[in-house]
């Protein structure tokens, strides 16, 4: 194949695609609607569907819908006929492995804000049987929004409600017209929550009772848990891979070989999309035991490390774990605060803990800290706050590492509004940008604007942020001692610098004495 060739069906079919691969890439019916087209879904669900298709176990493709008005992936999907290259790199059984595969499970991308009629046409198709989504933790939230004819709702649950209602009107209320829905957002009981929000929106919109009965009776909302680190586009290595592949791929997707998908569903659902039969690490089981380990240890440790490591000058998870001090900081947080609060603290939990550390130290994974920082406040709420609250409840004390990470998070987001969803901040004199929900960005920018260097102003800023129930789901200022502890940590970081503060924290006694005075 000519170097630099286009990654399209036409560009590839004259080169190395076999007849069976061309069939996978172009002729299978759309069976899945996917809300989200980002790195994670491409490196997880879409890759899994591709494995099913290769083994003749599914024979269907995915229509990927852009979840927000500001997405940039759909034009690239369209330009590449839905094709992209998935690169899985990591350590398996002590050996470095690298798997490179052209994935053809996506049929097309759709921008619902410009092509809402195409979304509704999908709803009319009897071939569509499944819905997957990943719109970040902030995506499965209730917004009160109008139902405007011929226009896409803004929220993901709003889109799904409109999609289901159109399907109900066109195809009727039979059991066979219902869908199996798999939200992949890292929210506890994500399927149950999504269903609850859909029904609430249906009530807001005054949709008929017969529709809500059909939603309840004929649609299956499955609680799920997903686990794979997908870092996405390899910015620093894209040219090398494009040279190696022989074509330019704007959607190169890099992840680790490790993957876990836990789905609460019946046997009928498992038979309809038999991931497990393709040799994938998919469990049709109760989510909670897996979720507690994964969300708290893997995701919680990610959220724990991001503001601290980034403000220590690190840019990736791997760089963080190569730094002895920061590695000890992360391990201290897991071992002393997160792991003791995980239900079923058994050999299984400790084994998973070891796998987490090993995955963080994967030399092939460039997991950028600022990418993980996206929607950090929603992530802190779901990943670390439960551990903090359980520690207070069970042990009548505040933990240490988690409040320190919270203090670092507030500092990480100290900046001025630079866009609807961004804050402009500085690290060691260099500019960086953090991204959040628009309402959160506006709130944080306004809160920090009140700080002009006075101690009382800093206390007021911290109190204002901790009191904001829309961020945390409750008033954190009411947790005894938390505001004072966060304030002392913020002050210590400002006085000593992040690295020195972490060093004192890891060493124990010195920091305790410092902040107690």
Q: Note the pLDDT tens digit of each residue in 22-42.
A: 666 668 999 999 999 999 999
**Which pLDDT score is estimated for 350?**
83
Region 262-279: what's the mean pLDDT? Answer: 96
With beta carbons less than 8 A apart as the criterion, state whether 376 and 409 touch: yes
pLDDT of residue 347: 72
DSSP 20: H
Residue (of 219, 197, 32, 230) closest to 128 by Cα position: 32
Write the CB contacts of 52 (distance below 8 Å, at least 6 apart in sequence): 58, 273, 274, 275, 278
Instruction: Determine the Cα–Cα distance for residues 417 and 434; give it in Å rounded to an integer.
Output: 10
How far apart are alpha carbons 24 and 471 in whole angstroms?
44
- pLDDT tens for 44-55 read 999 999 999 999
Residue extent(s) of CATH 3.40.50.720 domains in the chain: 5-284
Residues of the chain with CATH 1.10.1040.10: 288-516
SS3 per-residue string spanning 147-183:
CCCCCCCCCHHHHHHHHHHHHHHHHCCCHHHCCEEEE
For residue 104, which of 36, 16, 42, 33 has the smallest C-alpha distance? 42
Instruction: Specify burial of residue 497 (Cβ count, 10 A radius: 0-12, 13-18, 19+).
Output: middle
Residue 218: closest CA among 160, 180, 175: 175
Q: How far is CA 19 from CA 12, 60, 84, 85, 388, in A?
A: 12, 17, 18, 19, 55
Cα-Cα-Cα-Cα torsion 77, 80, 83, 86, nearest 10 degrees, comes to: -80
Helix (H) / strand (E) element for 227: namely strand 224-227
For residue 4, what pLDDT band results from cuts at 50, 70 and 90?
A: low
What is the model's pLDDT at position 358? 86
Percent share of the chain, pLDDT over 90: 81
Asked if residue 510 has pLDDT above 50, the reply is no
pLDDT band at 514 (very low <50, low <70, confident <90, very high): very low
Q: Residue 159 and residue 31: Cα distance in Å, rounded?
A: 18
Q: Does the pLDDT of residue 18 top 70, yes or no?
A: no
List, in order, residues 6 or more apart from 251 with CB less than 8 Å away. Answer: 42, 73, 76, 77, 80, 84, 85, 233
Please give the pLDDT value at position 176: 96
Distance CA 300, CA 470 (A): 20
For residue 507, pLDDT over 70 is answered with yes
Please check the confidence at residue 2 and state whether its pLDDT lies above 60. Answer: no
* Secondary structure (3-state) at 95: strand
| The CATH homologous superfamily of the domain defined by 5-284 | NAD(P)-binding Rossmann-like Domain (3.40.50.720)
Residue 17: pLDDT above 60?
no
| CATH number of this structure's domain 288-516, picked from the four choices 2.60.120.10, 3.40.640.10, 1.10.357.10, 1.10.1040.10 | 1.10.1040.10
451 exposure class (CB count in 10 Å sphere: 0-12, 13-18, 19+): middle
- At 426-483, the pLDDT tens digits run 999 999 999 999 999 999 999 999 999 999 999 999 999 999 999 999 999 999 999 9
Per-residue pLDDT tens digits for 129-182: 999 999 987 899 999 999 999 999 999 999 999 999 999 999 999 999 999 999
């Amino acid at each position: 194949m000519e170097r630099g060739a286009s990654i399209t069906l036409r560009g590839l079919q004259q080169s190395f695609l076999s007849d069976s691969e061309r069939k996978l890439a172009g002729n299978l019916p759309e069976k899945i609607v996917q809300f989200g087209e980002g790195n994670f879904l491409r490196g997880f669900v879409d890759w899994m569907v591709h494995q099913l298709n290769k083994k003749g176990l599914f024979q269907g493709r995915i229509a990927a819908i852009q979840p927000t008005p500001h997405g940039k992936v759909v034009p690239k999907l369209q330009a590449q006929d839905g094709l992209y290259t998935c690169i899985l790199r990591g350590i398996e059984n002590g050996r470095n492995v690298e798997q490179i595969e052209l994935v053809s499970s996506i049929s097309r991308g759709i921008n619902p804000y410009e092509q809402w009629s195409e979304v509704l046409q999908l709803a009319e198709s009897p071939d569509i049987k499944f819905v997957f989504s990943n719109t970040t933790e902030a995506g499965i939230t209730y917004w009160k929004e109008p139902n405007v004819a011929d226009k896409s709702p803004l929220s993901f649950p709003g889109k799904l409600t409109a999609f289901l209602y159109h399907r109900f009107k066109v195809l009727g209320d039979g059991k066979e017209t219902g869908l199996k829905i798999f939200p992949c957002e890292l929210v506890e009981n994500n399927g149950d929550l999504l269903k609850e929000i859909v029904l609430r929106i249906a009530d807001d919109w005054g949709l008929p009772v017969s529709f809500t009965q059909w939603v309840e009776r004929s649609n299956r909302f499955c609680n799920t848990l997903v686990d794979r680190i997908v870092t996405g586009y390899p910015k620093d290595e894209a040219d090398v891979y494009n040279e190696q592949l022989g074509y330019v791929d704007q959607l190169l997707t890099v992840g680790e070989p490790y993957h876990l998908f836990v789905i609460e569903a019946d046997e009928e659902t498992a038979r309809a999309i038999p991931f497990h039969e393709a040799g994938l690490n998919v469990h049709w089981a109760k989510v909670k035991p897996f979720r507690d380990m994964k969300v708290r240890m893997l995701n919680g440790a990610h959220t724990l490390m991001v503001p601290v490591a980034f403000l220590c000058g690190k840019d990736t998870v791997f760089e963080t774990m190569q730094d002895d001090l920061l590695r000890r900081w992360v391990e201290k947080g897991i071992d002393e605060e997160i792991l003791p609060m995980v239900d079923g603290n058994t050999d299984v939990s400790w084994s998973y803990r070891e796998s987490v550390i090993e995955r963080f130290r994967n030399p092939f994974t460039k997991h950028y800290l600022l990418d993980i920082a996206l929607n950090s406040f929603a992530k802190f709420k779901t990943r670390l706050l439960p551990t903090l609250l359980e520690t207070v409840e069970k042990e009548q004390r505040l933990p240490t590492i988690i409040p320190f990470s919270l203090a670092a998070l507030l500092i990480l987001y100290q900046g001025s509004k630079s866009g609807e969803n961004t804050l402009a901040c500085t690290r060691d004199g260099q500019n960086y940008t953090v991204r959040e929900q628009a309402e959160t960005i506006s709130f944080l920018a306004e809160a920090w604007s009140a700080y002009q260097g006075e101690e009382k102003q800093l206390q007021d800023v911290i109190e204002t942020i901790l009191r904001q129930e829309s961020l945390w789901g409750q008033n954190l200022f009411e947790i005894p001692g938390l505001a004072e502890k966060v304030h002392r940590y913020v002050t210590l970081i400002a006085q000593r610098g992040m690295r020195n503060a972490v060093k004192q924290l890891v060493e124990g006694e010195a920091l305790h004495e410092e902040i107690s005075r």
